[in-house]
Structure 1
């Protein structure tokens, strides 16, 4: 049932009233930036102009470089749990999985993104419907990262397709053109009842010409110990991740108006074995013991990312002109035990089937935009965007015998299928803000985008009919936003925002499906929020409430063992988010809370019954509540060394793994809620630091994603429960020069 508009207004007013009335009385002069007892003013560029985070009229979470250092953040999962209503599901290896914001996820068969991801100015998530972008979770190394900006709610006006739930932007550190510095970090780790890990990171910055050119180079290598076991082969400490990478950046400032940035990045991760255990179908009971699975072979997973970008900024009399060009090349290889096909084809005489998915994308983008200065009461933004994606998604399924070797005859190639093709999109966008007064303004924006998709699918094997298919589709979309902002005081902002977003439609790949194409899905979002600094900027507060209408929801299911895509009717999402921060000389605290109720309100699709979906079902994967609390305390120092201690608590409630109607090939399982605790201590002296930490102190074996992949409900196939990392001990030595 749709939430009444009066309820939205009441929720918004309730949230806004939590800001104490005396905020208006605070001094308009900000506390000194050198004062260590106040929260720092964070500037962001996620709205495509530089502004204070408190002035962005949208829900925004910023993870700063200091937080990355203090909390020992290494990977996506470390910071995702600090962001309200942001989770990763179906991630059985490093660099894989689906990024879900505000519950906008339809189940383990979802193949396209609802959250867009950028590294700097370059998008690294795909938009094409057959590029299978949802299989890739960008997990960039964070050693030389300035901040992570997470902008929630549809961002169709500024960022276009697939930003239905929001946007995640990783902002790299820029080279310094005046100062030389170098940093090194060495670490070791040990997983409880699992493997050992180690790693090293190195970076240096050198001015090539004082104030004109700077060069930054960094490299890393890391092993994360594994913790799962294959009870058939006897292998243990699986899920071990070996990752490495390097980046080089050049910054040129030939004059005070011009800045040129060039960057190359390459990194990969190789995961030996999955991060899951097998459970009895649709239950929480391990089928092969805790953190165990059974297969005649051990799956491997690989992810790789190459990125190149060039950005030019010029400060003109009109404003900042930015031109950027980038190429992102993610490549993911996923293996899995596809027993379902061996059971469906008993004549093959196969013990199981080995499936491998090889997903490749080359995404070229170019953008030019003007962010104007403020002329009188008006400031504006206008831009032109173009992207071209060349993608391929090769799937092979082959029968194996009990020794893990390929079977002879037709079972050696159950199917080999490769959709490959091109997605092209051109977009024009613009927005403007009119200031009725210095503390009250209204903004609006619009984006028109047109895309064209051409794909060819080649198939062979037992299920490889028809052997060759050519597919094409075109569509266009107009997205827009309207926002009002009121600032009762310098450090207090209120906003109301209406925004839309879309995800492209495309051609149907399953020859047995009744629909040959499927439509774009769209969202409309209503959002109210407040941001404030209180108590002389020691306390920071950010509260948002929202309602989202999601129409023509794209659903993916299996029909005859092959993916089928279609549109459901509608889903609705209601939620609230709150973030607090506190700082004084000795203590730094942060807290976040998210409530999210995402549910299916209309069906109207051939795929919804295949998924076992019913009106009123919660969308799978995301908990209704998430929360985190972290803090660090600095002890008074009487000698050359300084000490800090800290802890992080992460919490999420239960979540459905699938839909409600039974029997179904993918039965629902309610993943239990859980909490984890991390503790840490750090000592710093001179140019050195030593950090010790224990993650998941209570060794919670938590289920973070859950799926059952069967062609029919009668097949005796275990479910797969993706797990949190066990208790892990870390020790890191750092030095700066």
Structure 2
């Protein structure tokens, strides 16, 4: 048996290295990669709701470690996308205004397709009316130990709205035995900005009763200056924003078989404007129905400018409280995870070019118009589960129950103001809509696996969930944009999801695996508009994948590769009518197929080279309703190919100081802003960015000089074409990659 496994291992190693070197890499940082292997320093993940070595999990997972986050001073989800094959982050112009896609599953509707967890509990909403697709949980990552990115549907263990995958923030636990103080700050500049950016952070871990009770606390602040000029009334550098985050956690472990951890986190993002640039559309394309080539758009001003008559604002604030109890029952491990979160999102923007054109029709005088939205979400969750007490036993199992209650508010207003910015009597607001809703879900789930002869694991899982929703539309309009309504709606549905997997341990640190799994997004009652379906069905997804992951040659290399197919049915879409008012619909089928590879090699002492790559072909398999897309169309916001290359070299300096130089080159293929055949779809160009970092550290002090987007590439994360209230083309817009950013950071750990 040993000889057979060794032979197979050598064969797989040769084939993998031959296939790997031209293309990709692993998402873990190089320092962690050097310690991963058969020993106790292997990367540990909790993807299957128990601690396992990453290499032993029969599913595709990428890990972004704390060192990756610090290397280039990551401040939002946009900054980590290059570390994870198949991950696409589309920005709305600030942290917190972001849409997450994995494996070609774009968030086409209003609710998220990639779920989010903080430790043991979900965050964000599962309803249609909380707009979770465009306002993803985006943490300022100072007290984050790692981010686990689970790919493919996670409906069995993690529930609704994770059909594309899951982002799991794993925070730092209090240490019962070690006192720790850490802190730091940095200064940075952004090209085209007239101001200096700055950040500060501090954290402390303090054992109160050694070995039994400890407290950890942290606070971080970051000010990012603006670089977008408003050629209208706003002035220069209008897109500056501030981020704050605070967390406190206490861990009590009075005995060896019981622990209780309580934690509270608060985070706020406050932006004075959006990182959005505007483009004029040449006259020939304004008056015809041909698609507008991106190259035909004419940048406004210096190419990093807008022309607004009203300011733009974005604020997001979240409070998140958790209590997690663990008890060793002897025959099983018991866990109770309770969470409560309260979040508020406020978004305000100039929509004069879209809705202001309606004002002269009513008043005979020009005016201005703003669109603003206020979202409130209160969410309570409770999960109980029991699992196998021995993580190394052949039989592994977990059984659990889950409950969530969500109460969300969604107030949308379109204003009508004169040129003095005073409300126009009898016309203001042009439209008003309140969409309060509640969502309750009950679920039971289980998963089990058995390992035969210590090398072959078979397993599967099942989950039953029922959700019940109540909804009310309260709407009015002075000009008929939305109907007068004060009407309730409700829905209820029960859904089964399942998973099945097999894993063959080719060698102690190498596995082949296959996995099939399902997931769903809840449906619900629809908004009330003419010729609009009253109910939106749940959409479902079934995924198939095969993969190989290994640490090779005594940690000289690591690989993680997978082939996958995702079949998506009854897709939920957000559709706009001719007046630009949105409603929901189901849109047939889509399929995403692709290949992902992550890996690293360590050819010499101190040198590591990481590669990440993904190829994804994602397209509609049926015509979508309302002209949204046609069979064969590429899905929006998904690059067919992306790759990043990240070398790092550590070398000795004077005394106990060490130098570390690192880089990351990322290429992202072109993306579509809408359905391929839709006339108002833009094709955003491909781009390449370069990041560099140079650090000196003695494990107490770290001094780092870093640069992101070194070549100041004019690249774009997202975009589209704005239309007037009459449905006519008006202008193009795009969110740029942050211009060249150069900074210096100092950190202390004691």
Fold in common (TM above 0.5): yes
Taking the aligned partners of 1:483 and 1:37, their CA distance within structure 2 comes to: 28
Over 3 Å counting, the alpha-carbon distance change for 1:714 and 1:423 in structure 2 is closer
The equivalent residue for 1:5 is none
The equivalent residue for 2:64 is 63
Q: Is the 8 A contact 2:72 2:691 kept in 1?
A: no
Unpaired segments ≥5 residues, structure 2: 1-10, 19-30, 282-291
Once the two structures are TM-superposed, the CA of residue 402 in structure 1 deviates from its matched residue by: 3.9
Taking the aligned partners of 2:229 and 2:426, their CA distance within structure 1 comes to: 31
Over 3 Å counting, the alpha-carbon distance change for 1:601 and 1:447 in structure 2 is same
Q: Is the 8 A contact 2:33 2:555 kept in 1?
A: no
Once the two structures are TM-superposed, the CA of residue 246 in structure 1 deviates from its matched residue by: 1.0
The equivalent residue for 1:28 is none
TM-score, normalization by structure 2: 0.90
Q: What is the DSSP-based 3-state SS (H/G/I as helix, E as strand, rest coil) of the residue aligned with 1:79?
A: helix
- How many residue pairs get aligned? The number is 704
Q: What is the DSSP-based 3-state SS (H/G/I as helix, E as strand, rest coil) of the residue aligned with 1:77?
A: helix
Q: Deviations over 1:81-113 (max 9, x none)?
A: 211111122422221121111121255xx3110
The equivalent residue for 2:697 is 684
**1:457 is aligned to 2:468:** no
The equivalent residue for 1:255 is 255
Over 3 Å counting, the alpha-carbon distance change for 1:717 and 1:34 in structure 2 is closer
Find 2:503's aligned residue among 463, 471, 485: 485
Q: Bigger CA drift: 439-448 or 79-88?
A: 79-88
Once the two structures are TM-superposed, the CA of residue 121 in structure 1 deviates from its matched residue by: 1.3
Once the two structures are TM-superposed, the CA of residue 548 in structure 1 deviates from its matched residue by: 0.9
Taking the aligned partners of 2:87 and 2:726, their CA distance within structure 1 comes to: 31
Taking the aligned partners of 2:640 and 2:133, their CA distance within structure 1 comes to: 22
Q: What is the DSSP-based 3-state SS (H/G/I as helix, E as strand, rest coil) of the residue aligned with 1:629?
A: strand
Q: What is the DSSP-based 3-state SS (H/G/I as helix, E as strand, rest coil) of the residue aligned with 2:407?
A: strand
Q: Bigger CA drift: 133-142 or 200-209?
A: 133-142
**1:222 is aligned to 2:217:** no
Q: Is the 8 A contact 1:296 1:402 kept in 2?
A: no
Once the two structures are TM-superposed, the CA of residue 430 in structure 1 deviates from its matched residue by: 0.6
The 5-angstrom pairing of residues 199-238 of structure 1 reads 199-238=199-238
The equivalent residue for 2:582 is 563
Q: What is the DSSP-based 3-state SS (H/G/I as helix, E as strand, rest coil) of the residue aligned with 2:659?
A: strand
The equivalent residue for 2:385 is 369
Once the two structures are TM-superposed, the CA of residue 588 in structure 1 deviates from its matched residue by: 2.9
The 5-angstrom pairing of residues 326-365 of structure 1 reads 326-338=339-351, 339-348=353-362, 349-365=365-381
Q: Bigger CA drift: 680-689 or 647-656?
A: 680-689
The equivalent residue for 1:674 is 687
The equivalent residue for 2:618 is 598
Once the two structures are TM-superposed, the CA of residue 149 in structure 1 deviates from its matched residue by: 0.3
Q: Is the 8 A contact 1:262 1:311 kept in 2?
A: yes
The 5-angstrom pairing of residues 461-476 of structure 1 reads 461-462=477-478, 463-476=481-494
Find 1:535's aligned residue among 547, 553, 572: 553
Taking the aligned partners of 2:244 and 2:611, their CA distance within structure 1 comes to: 32
**1:512 is aligned to 2:517:** no
Over 3 Å counting, the alpha-carbon distance change for 1:716 and 1:74 in structure 2 is closer
Q: Is the 8 A contact 1:213 1:251 kept in 2?
A: yes
Q: Is the 8 A contact 2:100 2:107 kept in 1?
A: no
The 5-angstrom pairing of residues 83-94 of structure 1 reads 83-94=84-95
**1:400 is aligned to 2:420:** no
Find 1:647's aligned residue among 663, 668, 672: 663
Taking the aligned partners of 1:244 and 1:139, their CA distance within structure 2 comes to: 12
Q: What is the DSSP-based 3-state SS (H/G/I as helix, E as strand, rest coil) of the residue aligned with 1:278?
A: strand
Once the two structures are TM-superposed, the CA of residue 425 in structure 1 deviates from its matched residue by: 0.3
Q: What is the DSSP-based 3-state SS (H/G/I as helix, E as strand, rest coil) of the residue aligned with 1:132?
A: coil
Find 1:730's aligned residue among 732, 738, 743: 743
Q: Is the 8 A contact 2:418 2:424 kept in 1?
A: no
**1:311 is aligned to 2:324:** yes
Taking the aligned partners of 1:516 and 1:552, their CA distance within structure 2 comes to: 15
Superposed CA RMSD in Å reads 2.2
Once the two structures are TM-superposed, the CA of residue 330 in structure 1 deviates from its matched residue by: 2.5
Q: Is the 8 A contact 1:513 1:564 kept in 2?
A: no
Taking the aligned partners of 1:588 and 1:168, their CA distance within structure 2 comes to: 26
TM-score, normalization by structure 1: 0.92
**1:388 is aligned to 2:401:** no
Q: Is the 8 A contact 1:532 1:540 kept in 2?
A: yes
**1:420 is aligned to 2:420:** no
Q: Deviations over 1:41-79 (max 9, x none)?
A: 100112101110111111100111232233432321111
Over 3 Å counting, the alpha-carbon distance change for 1:288 and 1:351 in structure 2 is farther
Once the two structures are TM-superposed, the CA of residue 20 in structure 1 deviates from its matched residue by: 6.0
Q: Bigger CA drift: 239-248 or 346-355?
A: 346-355
Taking the aligned partners of 1:508 and 1:606, their CA distance within structure 2 comes to: 15
The equivalent residue for 2:644 is 628
Unpaired segments ≥5 residues, structure 1: 1-13, 22-32
The equivalent residue for 2:285 is none
Q: Is the 8 A contact 1:307 1:327 kept in 2?
A: yes
Over 3 Å counting, the alpha-carbon distance change for 1:337 and 1:632 in structure 2 is same
Taking the aligned partners of 1:629 and 1:373, their CA distance within structure 2 comes to: 41
Q: Deviations over 1:506-542 (max 9, x none)?
A: 1110321331101110011110000011121121000
